[in-house]
Structure 1
């Protein structure tokens, strides 16, 4: 019996069809163009004043007040009466701490002022902002 040896001959004529990949790329490109948000400019660029006393602000304590008068510290809600020891411990960790209070638009002003007064009693410099 004669033995037959198998030899594999590579076909040098094979090519990778790029058409389906290009179709997907163009579809994604069209999707991103259609769903992008375009910035509308007012048409006139106002001249903004420059502040001479502006300081870099890097708050180390972040406190948020929601519309239900809950005070959020480290992703946990508290009542205003419960936050003094928490703020004291945060201040003790960083003696020269700066804080920012983020208040919800519908937050109770009394709660925001109460948090700010607590920070003032503890000697922490604060800024208040709204979302």
Structure 2
């Protein structure tokens, strides 16, 4: 009867090829960056009026109007005549965007309504935010 002994296999330096895994990781990263929606903050936090009813709303465009009637978009103040091209460029980035207008309690109603009408003219569903 022949006895089998353990044979030793010489240790070889085996390396894993990480290139395909890195390719997959970068492709996934690019996919998530391209498909994500970025919410641009207005830059200020006005004191909003209180509401009787409450409904959940997930806007992608945020516009704020402070007590001095400045319109804030993406952390910069604008006048009412300057915001049309800015809102159009934001709408072009995400065509199905919804918007919320966060207006201060002391802001003029006419300014807030002008912003809302402008958004409706551009085909953006806009609401005025409350507390």
Fold equivalence (TM over 0.5)? yes
Q: How does 1:27-66 map to 2 (within 5 A)?
A: 57-66=57-66
1:116 and 2:116 are equivalent in the alignment: yes
Structure-1-length-normalised TM-score: 0.56
User: How far apart, CA to CA, are the structure 1 residues paired with 2:98 and 2:130?
Assistant: 17
- Aligned-pair distance for 1:130? 3.8
Q: In structure 2, the residue corresponding to 1:83 is in which secondary structure?
A: helix
**1:104–1:130 contact (8 Å) kept in structure 2:** no
Q: Which runs of 5+ in 2 are unaligned?
A: 1-52
Identify the structure with bigger relative contact order (alpha carbons < 8 Å, sequence gap 6+). 2
Deviations 1:68-122 (A, max 9, x none): 1100001100000000000000000000000000000000111000000000000
1:104 aligned residue: 104
What is the aligned-residue RMSD (CA, Å)? Answer: 1.9
In the other structure, the counterpart of 2:67 is 67
> TM-score, structure 2 length as denominator?
0.56
Q: Matched residue pairs, number?
A: 79
Larger radius of gyration: 1
